[in-house]
């Protein structure tokens, strides 16, 4: 007997028939004698609908109230899934994040999980129940409902698997595994049988939505056995996330590049004509960080006239907030000439552990983009990743040509 956490995404619970389908799979696993915790997302499109409703009343909704609204999507699907299971004769019980006691910090709309009380779930599992838990939501120390950021149900799933010491966490979605790139953009993309945890972390952090980055972080920290699978197919092994000790990384056959990620959600902030002196980066980014705005790429160019141009990227949703902070609190203070924003950008990243032992990956990437006349606006690298910011309108072309250049397509 194993303890398995199964997480089902929005398309997998999009309507009662699909929910019934989820219940049938859960029933099969239960019949094998396993204990099952099910985590569900809201029905596909529902979170966006709820966000839209809130924005009709307030352009930048109050975060606490927004969480109150958007967390309801998952409350519907847990009840529905529990009903579908009960209808099949299986003992099942639904739980909101607060009922489990998924304790988070109070950073509404992007809260972090601090602790999960596993007692309630354990007791019900031992009593033979399937526990159906709402993804994406938690509760802060004062009892306020919080949400974990878009795609956060993945994180609920993996965090529960860690807290319960589950044997496996299965992420069921609308594709049958992790591909070399988003198969919706590049139909020639190939499913990976396995991918290292580090590569998955980079892909997720660079925008590949198949797993939310925090779920991958949890898997790494607690060594959760994590697999991505299709909820529409009965068979198939999906993609297993592997860890170094599994020995997979020493495989000489491993390709140099494992995947390409892209992200349309970032925007660029440029601060022009800043005096070039110590402390400037801190004076610009300090107030941005204080407002809890995540900064991704950063570049600074020193010009001949002793001033510097400072550019960084933030999430598109936070562009206006960042610009307002800089214009109100920073520009006059540091004597910057101009502050501007650009949300027509996209980021493309190639990722692979093979980069550690091979040279020339960056030049191949840059040459491939140059041959298509695509201008690179920013570059950042890690040991296993090269990321570039380009004009949004070239995104699809860039991903396709890179996928081909690195020979990632189906053999």
Q: At what angle do helices 63-70 and 46-57 cross, to 10 degrees?
A: 140
Partner interacting with residue 308 (select from Mg ion, ligand ADP, ligand ASP, none; CB below 5-8 Å by kind):
none
User: Which residue in the set 41, 109, 205, 263 belongs to the binding site for ligand ADP (CB under 6 A)?
Assistant: 41
78: Cβ–Cβ under 8 A, 6 or more apart, which residues?
40, 94, 95, 96, 132, 133, 134
Partner interacting with residue 71 (select from Mg ion, ligand ADP, ligand ASP, none; CB below 5-8 Å by kind):
none
Residue 366, SS3 per DSSP: helix
Minimum distance from CB of 195 to ligand ADP (Å)? 9
Distance CA 132, CA 218 (A): 20
From 13-21, 39-47, 174-182, 360-368, give the range in contact with ligand ASP by CB under 6 A: 39-47
Minimum distance from CB of 409 to ligand ASP (Å)? 29
152: Cβ–Cβ under 8 A, 6 or more apart, which residues?
135, 136, 137, 212, 214
Distance CA 408, CA 411 (A): 8
Looking at beta carbons only, is 41 or 239 nearer to ligand ASP? 41
From 55-63, 151-159, 290-298, 373-381, give the range in contact with Mg ion by CB under 5 A: 151-159
Size of the site for Mg ion (CB under 5 A): 2
From 145-153, 250-258, 368-376, 401-409, give the range in contact with Mg ion by CB under 5 A: 145-153
From 88-96, 151-159, 220-228, 359-367, give the range in contact with ligand ASP by CB under 6 A: 151-159
151 is a site residue for Mg ion (CB under 5 A): yes
Residues within window 264-323 making contact with ligand ASP, judged by CB under 6 A:
none
Sign for the pseudo-dihedral over CA of 384, 390, 395, 401: negative
From 152-160, 179-187, 213-221, 280-288, give the range in contact with ligand ASP by CB under 6 A: 152-160
User: Which residue in the set 104, 153, 205, 311 belongs to the binding site for ligand ASP (CB under 6 A)?
Assistant: 153
Nearest Cα neighbor of 411 from 255, 261, 240, 260 is 255
42 is a site residue for ligand ASP (CB under 6 A): yes
Q: What is the 3-state secondary structure (H, E, C) of 69-123?
A: HHCHHHHHHHHHHHHHHHHCCCCEEEECHHHHCEEECCCCCCCCEEEECCHHHHH
Distance CA 24, CA 341 (A): 49
Looking at beta carbons only, is 149 or 273 nearer to ligand ASP? 149
Terminal CA-to-CA distance of the chain, rounded, Å? 38
- Where helices occur in 133-253 by DSSP H, the ranges are 153-163, 197-205, 213-222
73 is a site residue for Mg ion (CB under 5 A): no
Partner interacting with residue 47 (select from ligand ADP, Mg ion, ligand ASP, none; CB below 5-8 Å by kind):
ligand ASP
Residues within window 1-40 making contact with Mg ion, judged by CB under 5 A:
9
* Strand pairing class (113-116; 102-104): antiparallel
Sketch the per residue contact string, 127 through 146, with ligand ASP: x for CB under 6 A, - otherwise.
Answer: --------xx----------
Q: Rounded to whole angstroms, what are the CA distances from 146 to 26, 63, 77, 255, 294?
A: 28, 9, 18, 41, 18
Residues within window 147-206 making contact with ligand ADP, judged by CB under 6 A:
151, 173-175, 178-179, 181-184
Minimum distance from CB of 9 to Mg ion (Å)? 5
Do residues 257 and 352 lie in contact, with contact meaning Cβ atoms separated by under 8 Å?
yes
Distance CA 117, CA 131 (A): 14
From 7-15, 31-39, 327-335, 357-365, give the range in contact with ligand ADP by CB under 6 A: 7-15
Distance CA 132, CA 222 (A): 22
Size of the site for ligand ASP (CB under 6 A): 13
Minimum distance from CB of 284 to ligand ADP (Å)? 32
φ/ψ of residue 11, rounded to 5: -70, -25
> Residue 389: beta bridge partners?
347, 378
Partner interacting with residue 210 (select from ligand ADP, ligand ASP, Mg ion, none; CB below 5-8 Å by kind):
ligand ADP
151 is a site residue for ligand ASP (CB under 6 A): yes
132: Cβ–Cβ under 8 A, 6 or more apart, which residues?
37, 38, 39, 40, 78, 81, 82, 85, 92, 93, 94, 95
From 41-49, 253-261, 367-375, 398-406, give the range in contact with ligand ASP by CB under 6 A: 41-49
- Interacting residues toward ligand ADP by CB under 6 A: 9-12, 41, 151, 173-175, 178-179, 181-184, 208-210, 259
- Interacting residues toward ligand ASP by CB under 6 A: 9-10, 41-42, 47, 73, 135-136, 150-154
- Interacting residues toward Mg ion by CB under 5 A: 9, 151
């Amino acid at each position: 007997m194993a303890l398995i956490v199964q997480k089902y995404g929005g398309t997998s619970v999009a309507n009662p028939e699909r929910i019934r389908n989820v219940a049938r799979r859960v029933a099969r696993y239960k019949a094998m004698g396993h204990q099952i915790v099910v985590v569900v997302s809201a029905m596909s499109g529902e979170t966006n609908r709820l966000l839209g409703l809130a924005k009709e009343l307030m352009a930048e909704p109050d975060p606490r109230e927004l969480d109150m609204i958007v967390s309801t999507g998952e409350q519907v699907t847990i009840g529905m899934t529990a009903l579908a299971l009960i209808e099949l004769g299986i003992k099942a019980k639904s739980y909101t994040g607060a009922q489990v006691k998924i304790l988070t910090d109070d950073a509404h709309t992007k809260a972090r999980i601090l602790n999960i009380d596993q007692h309630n779930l354990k007791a019900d599992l031992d009593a033979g129940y399937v526990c159906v838990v709402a993804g994406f939501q938690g509760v802060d120390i004062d009892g306020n409902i919080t949400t974990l950021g878009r795609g956060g149900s993945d994180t609920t799933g993996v965090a529960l698997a860690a807290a319960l010491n589950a044997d496996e966490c299965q992420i069921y979605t609308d594709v049958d595994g992790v591909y070399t790139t988003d198969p919706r953009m590049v139909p020639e993309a190939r499913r990976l049988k396995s991918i290292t945890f580090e590569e998955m972390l980079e892909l997720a952090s660079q925008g590949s939505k198949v797993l939310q980055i925090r779920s991958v972080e949890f898997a790494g920290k607690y060594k959760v056995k994590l697999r991505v699978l299709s909820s529409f197919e009965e068979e198939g092994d999906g993609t297993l996330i592997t860890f170094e000790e599994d020995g997979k990384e020493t495989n000489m056959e491993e390709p140099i590049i494992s995947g390409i990620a892209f992200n349309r959600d970032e925007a660029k902030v440029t601060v022009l004509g800043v005096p070039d002196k110590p402390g400037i980066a801190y004076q610009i980014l300090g107030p941005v960080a204080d407002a809890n705005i995540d900064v991704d790429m950063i570049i600074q160019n020193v010009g001949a006239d002793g001033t510097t141009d400072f550019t960084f990227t933030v999430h598109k949703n936070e562009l206006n907030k960042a610009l307002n902070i800089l214009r109100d609190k920073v520009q006059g203070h540091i004597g910057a000439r101009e502050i501007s924003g650009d949300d027509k950008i996209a980021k493309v990243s190639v990722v692979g552990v093979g980069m550690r032992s091979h040279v020339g990956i960056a030049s191949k990437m840059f040459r491939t983009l140059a041959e298509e006349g695509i201008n690179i606006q920013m570059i950042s690298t890690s040991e296993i990743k090269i990321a570039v910011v380009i004009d949004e309108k070239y995104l699809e072309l860039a991903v396709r040509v890179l996928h081909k250049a690195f020979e990632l397509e189906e053999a």
